[in-house]
Amino acid sequence: MLDKVAEAWAADHDGANIWADKSVRFLDPCTKSGVFLREITRRLTEGLEEEIPDLQERVDHILTRQVFGIAITRLTAMLARRSVYCSKHAQGKHSIGRSFADDSGNIWWKRVEHSWVNGKCRFCGASQGALDRGGDLESHAYAFIHTDDIKARLAELFGQDMQFDVIIGNPPYQLDDGGYGTSAAPIYQLFVDQARRLDPRFITMVIPSRWFAGGKGLDEFRESMLRDDRIRSIDDYLSAADVFPGVGLKGGVCYFLWNRDHRGLCHVSTFFKDWKLSTADRELQEMGADVFVRFNDGLSILKKVTEVEAGQSGSVALPDDKRFSKIVSARKPFGLDTTFKGRPVKQDGDVLVYQNGGRGYVPRASIVSGTELIDEWKVFIGYAAPGTGNKDSYPHRVISTPFVGEPGSVSTETYLCIGPFDTRVSAERALGYLACRLVRLLILLNKPSQHVTSRVYKFVPIQDWSTAWTDEILYSRYGISPDEQRFIEKVVRPMDPDLFGGLADE
């Protein structure tokens, strides 16, 4: 991440070395172990040797004038100081700094409280019931984001008006408030937004990649990021373990570089284990998309599909009447919760219910939603995709195994309902269509998590069910090149249509 900043600085300053500039200020607004600050200090110590030959004078200048941090807890403040100053006390006898005005140095921590309004923190959305718990426990009210005036907060923290050139960090990813309505709600976007308000020259942060297409409370953040042409690069790691070994963060992680003074296309790089590195200079937001299309190769395929189906180039938006999502139900298609269990024996007036763990029966009269689908042919598909052991392993199945729902059947929230279809043959051909790798790639491009809601089918076109669709037919229809076919096969696992109970004969 620091290499990216240095390269961008050199490009903007006629090849100048950022590490040889004694005026540049760095801030980590969410420091934990102090690793960013320590590495910045090391590079500046080497880069400023010629300008400030005396080592102690050079170190004192760097630590008091250039390197600043805001810790997220009292413990991380001590860890960061020890990492950067070689002592948890900036003025301690083991500290490498000799010019600090107080024992915190420039790595600040002080307990900050939430601002409760109607039981929620107006800054981060935390529940008062979970986190208003006295001074003995950590409040998780992070100083950088719990303020209306971040510039005044920084002046308060560091004793002077502060304008930073580089803001870098790995912010907390979520705020788990113990199940009080915002459990595991994302919080990293608040750090990114606050950093942009400070208008530094550069921002670089490592954050979960789920913001590309989904995530609770991230719609506004995603829209603002996709429209921000100051984001010059995104390095996307499909597996979080490739960045943070042993961390099972689903959906991968990315780090971005935001450059205040240089607008343009974004350089997107995709990393995954032994795959060949994929790079492209592209718009973050494609015309007709409200998500970031993650795979560079997938974007070219999506554009080919859209061009054939919509009759236009330059957009990835299918006409409303061509979207497969149009025939996919919302969650809880028949009003039955996932925990609902039908009775084991059918009685007069009952319909079949597909439920978690098997089948049951429920009175027809008790179904109040989706009644127009009860007596139609349809397809049921799991709301959640199956686990693969390692969530970030490829190729993916993408979806759970769908199956035909006969007339007189319903489902619980465990399944979404696709349809209606005129005949069983049409329903089975829709199954075969969903088995196609190309179709499931189009789903994957809009799928941020294991949940497969109706919106993730937005890039998938509806077809004529008088045809039995295969990948070979679809590849020919959309002009998918051999290289693109190999990419699809690398990302999407095959699904045998026979597992669905067999396709109908012609």
Surface-to-core class of residue 387, CB atoms within 10 Å of its CB (0-12 exposed, 13-18 middle, 19+ buried)? exposed
Determine the Cα–Cα distance for residues 154 and 229; give it in Å rounded to an integer.
27
For residue 390, give both structure tokens. 């390692």
Q: What is the pLDDT of residue 497?
A: 61
* Domain boundaries, position 401: 304-500
Residue 196 in domain = no
**Number of compact structural domains in the chain:** 1
Residue 419 in domain = yes
Residue 130 in domain = no
Instruction: Return the closest-CA partner of residue 213 out of 265, 284, 317, 124.
Output: 284
Q: What is the pLDDT of residue 451?
A: 72
Its pTM stands at 0.89
Q: What is the pLDDT of residue 499?
A: 58
Residue 181: other Cβ atoms inside 10 A: 13
Residue 382 in domain = yes
Determine the Cα–Cα distance for residues 375 and 152; give it in Å rounded to an integer.
64
- 138 within 8 A of 73, measured Cβ to Cβ: yes
Residue 112 in domain = no
Residue 392 in domain = yes
Q: What is the pLDDT of residue 502?
A: 43
- 70 within 8 A of 156, measured Cβ to Cβ: no
Q: What is the sign, positive or negative, of the torsion defined by CA atoms of 501, 504, 505, 506?
A: negative
In which residue are the tokens 């907390």 written? 172
Residue 411 in domain = yes
Q: What is the sign, positive or negative, of the torsion defined by CA atoms of 147, 150, 153, 154?
A: positive
Q: What is the pLDDT of residue 180?
A: 41
> Taking phi first (over 0 means left), then psi (-120 to 50 degrees means alpha), and beta for anything else, what does residue 384 get?
beta
Each of the 506 residues of the chain gets a pLDDT tens digit; together they read 999 999 999 999 999 999 999 999 999 999 999 999 999 999 999 999 999 999 999 999 999 999 999 999 999 999 999 999 999 999 999 999 999 989 999 999 988 999 999 999 999 988 888 888 777 778 889 999 999 999 999 998 887 778 999 999 999 998 865 444 445 789 999 999 999 999 999 999 999 998 998 777 899 999 999 999 999 999 999 988 889 988 778 888 999 999 999 999 999 999 988 888 999 999 998 888 889 998 999 999 999 999 999 887 778 889 889 999 999 998 899 999 999 999 999 999 999 999 988 999 999 999 999 999 999 999 999 988 764 444 557 888 899 889 999 999 999 999 999 999 999 999 999 999 999 999 999 999 988 667 778 889 999 999 999 999 999 999 999 999 999 999 999 999 998 766 554 443 33
Instruction: Return the closest-CA partner of residue 444 out of 454, 452, 435, 432.
Output: 452
Q: What is the pLDDT of residue 386?
A: 62
Determine the Cα–Cα distance for residues 197 and 270; give it in Å rounded to an integer.
28
Residue 257 in domain = no
Q: Which CA distances in Å does 139 have to 134, 178, 242, 249, 337? A: 8, 13, 31, 24, 35
